[in-house]
Amino acid sequence: MRERIELHLNEAPKLHNPILIAGLPDSGRVAKIVLDHLIKNLNAVPLGYLHSDYLPPRVLLKSDGTPELMKHEFFYWLNNDQTSHDLVLYTGDAQPILPEGAFRLSDAVVNLAQQLGVETLVTVGAFITGRISDNPKVYGAASETDLVKELQALDVQIIDSGAVTWMNGLIPGLAKVRNLKGLFLSGETSGFMVDPRAAMIILRVLVRKLGLQIEMKELEEQAKEIDDALKKGNEKASSEGQPHKSKYVG
């Protein structure tokens, strides 16, 4: 009988004090941009992937016209600084479509993290405000007060009410239940457009916390292109006598 989660892993070297960073597509594709940028800039090595019945019932078409099942992927990165952390990076094509899937996949991720010796799990995502901010902030939460203080020292605004949904919340939540450390970082975003700037401010926090060397020029250029397009749209609307109004759809 087919398993609802099929995990396929390559052999990995022993990781030194690894931290897991997870991000799946969300509003503004913030989390996906963060993880894709980390994987690309660090030249992270494929660790494996999973297929699951909990993912949306569709296939993705590749450039050669052939189909591919949706999947989630794992990568690892070995840090040359032996006093710091190796990384496990987790991303995928889509979020699970049912609550049961969010729980089962989150549990599978935490299980794998423990097998790899991970003690700290970080999820990233979008903090939706419904408006465009000139000075977006990073918001976060953590599994214990010492970690909350660490986030505050990094100028992260602490989320002290409400809820963090789906795998963004479940992974650090399950980590806490298992006496692991869990953190959630979210970039402020309007929620109605792809937002590389929100991804960039999360990356800057990760760079400071983990001592990473990450090139931001590509994201800066993407953010500027979006800013310029919005500015032109506002100018056109104003010239036609129709003030531009943003609408929340996230």
| pLDDT 10s digits, 71-82 | 999 999 999 998
Residue 82, pLDDT score:
83
Domain assignment present for residue 226? The answer is yes
Domain assignment present for residue 86? The answer is yes
Structural domain of residue 127, as residue ranges?
Answer: 5-239
Tell me, what CATH number does 116's domain have? Answer: 3.40.50.10900
Domain assignment present for residue 250? The answer is no
Domain assignment present for residue 249? The answer is no
**Cα distance between residue 53 and residue 110, in whole Å:** 19
The total number of structural domains in the chain stands at 1
Residue 249 has pLDDT above 50, yes or no: no
Q: Nearest-CA neighbor of 92 among 72, 109, 74?
A: 72
Domain assignment present for residue 220? The answer is yes
133 CB neighbour count, 10 Å cutoff: 12
Tokens of 208: 């400071």
Domain assignment present for residue 248? The answer is no
What's the pLDDT tens digit per position in 182-241? 999 999 999 889 999 999 999 999 999 999 999 999 999 999 998 888 777 666 666 666
More confident residue, 238 or 10: 10
Mean model confidence pLDDT for the chain? 92
Domain assignment present for residue 244? The answer is no
Which three-class secondary structure state does DSSP give residue 81? coil
Domain assignment present for residue 139? The answer is yes
- Residue 54 CA neighbour count, 13 Å, CB half: 21
Residue 156 has pLDDT above 90, yes or no: yes
H or E stretch covering 206: helix 196-210
Residue 250, pLDDT score:
35
More confident residue, 249 or 227: 227
Residue 242, pLDDT score:
57
What's the pLDDT tens digit per position in 23-47? 999 999 999 999 999 999 999 999 9
Q: How confident is the model at residue 157 (pLDDT cuts 50, 70, 90)?
A: very high
